[in-house]
Structure 1
Amino acid sequence: MDVALPDACPPEAAPPPAALPVVAPFRAHRPRTPRLWSLLCVAGWLALWWLATALQWVPPLFLPAPEAALNALAQAWRGDIQGGDALWVHAQWSCLRVFGAFALAVLTAVPVGIAMGVNRWAQAVFDPLLEFYRPLPPLAYLPLVVIWLGIDEAAKWLLIYLACFAPMALAARAGTRNASAEQVNALRSLGATRWQLLRHAIVPAALPDILVGLRIAMGFAWTTLVAAEMVAATQGLGQMVLNASNFLRTDIVVMGIFVIGTIALLLDALLRRLERWLLPWHGR
Structure 2
Amino acid sequence: MFSSKSAQAVLPGEAAPMQTNTPVRPPRRPGRGPRMLAKKPARPGDTFGVPGQGSSVATSLVTVAAFIGLWFAATNLHWIKPLFLPSPQAVYAKFIFVATEGFANSTLAQHTGISLLRVFGAFLLACLSAIPVGVMMGVSRFARGAFDPPIEFYRPLPPLAYLPLIIIWFGIGEFSKVLLIYLAIFAPLAIAARAGVRSVSIEQIHAAYSMGASRTQVVLYVILKSAMPEIFTGMRIGIGVGWTTLVAAEMVASTSGLGFMVLNAAEFLASDVVIMGIIVIGFFALCFDLLMRYIERVLVPWKGKV
TM-score, with length taken from structure 2: 0.82
Counterpart Cα distance in 2 of 1:32 and 1:165? 33
Shift of 1:40: 1.8
Q: Which residue of 1 aligns with 2:256?
A: 235
Shift of 1:35: 1.8
Q: Which residue of 2 aligns with 1:134?
A: 155
Counterpart Cα distance in 2 of 1:55 and 1:240? 29
Q: 1:15-61 CA distances to partner (integer Å, 9 max, x unpaired)?
A: xxxxxxxxx78526543443223212211111111111112111111
Counterpart Cα distance in 2 of 1:185 and 1:34? 39
Residue 198, structure 1, aligned to residue 214, structure 2: no
Alignment map for 1:67-106 (pairs within 5 Å): 67-81=89-103, 83-106=104-127
Q: 1:180 aligns with which of 196, 201, 204?
A: 201
Q: 1:158-182 CA distances to partner (integer Å, 9 max, x unpaired)?
A: 1000110011100000101232222
Change (3 A) 1:110 1:162: same
Equivalent position amino acid for 1:119 in 2:
S
Residue 253, structure 1, aligned to residue 278, structure 2: no
Equivalent position amino acid for 1:131 in 2:
E
Counterpart Cα distance in 1 of 2:187 and 2:100? 38
Counterpart Cα distance in 2 of 1:251 and 1:172? 40
CA RMSD, aligned part only? Answer: 1.4
Give unpaired runs (5+ residues) of structure 2. Answer: 1-41
Q: 1:133-160 CA distances to partner (integer Å, 9 max, x unpaired)?
A: 0100000000001111111110001100
Alignment map for 1:1-284 (pairs within 5 Å): 26-27=44-45, 29-81=51-103, 83-284=104-305
Counterpart Cα distance in 2 of 1:117 and 1:188? 18
Counterpart Cα distance in 1 of 2:127 and 2:292? 13
Equivalent position amino acid for 1:52 in 2:
A
Q: 1:186-217 CA distances to partner (integer Å, 9 max, x unpaired)?
A: 22233322211111110011011000000000
Counterpart Cα distance in 1 of 2:246 and 2:226? 32
Equivalent position amino acid for 1:112 in 2:
V
Q: 1:93-125 CA distances to partner (integer Å, 9 max, x unpaired)?
A: 000000100000000000000101111111111
Equivalent position amino acid for 2:297 in 1:
R
Relative to structure 2, which stretch is displaced further, 37-46 or 122-131?
A: 37-46
Shift of 1:80: 3.8
Counterpart Cα distance in 2 of 1:25 and 1:211? 24
Which of structures 1 and 2 has the larger relative contact order (alpha carbons within 8 angstroms, sep 6+)? 1
Change (3 A) 1:25 1:236: closer
Counterpart Cα distance in 2 of 1:40 and 1:252? 26
- Which is higher, the Rg of structure 1 or of structure 2? 2
Counterpart Cα distance in 2 of 1:35 and 1:169? 31
CA contact (8 A) 2:102 2:108 kept: no
- Partner SS state of residue 226, structure 1: helix
Counterpart Cα distance in 1 of 2:171 and 2:101? 29
Change (3 A) 1:25 1:103: closer
Counterpart Cα distance in 2 of 1:45 and 1:183? 47
More helix per residue: 1
TM-score, with length taken from structure 1: 0.88
Counterpart Cα distance in 1 of 2:242 and 2:54? 27
Number of corresponding residues: 260
Shift of 1:250: 0.4
CA contact (8 A) 2:114 2:257 kept: yes
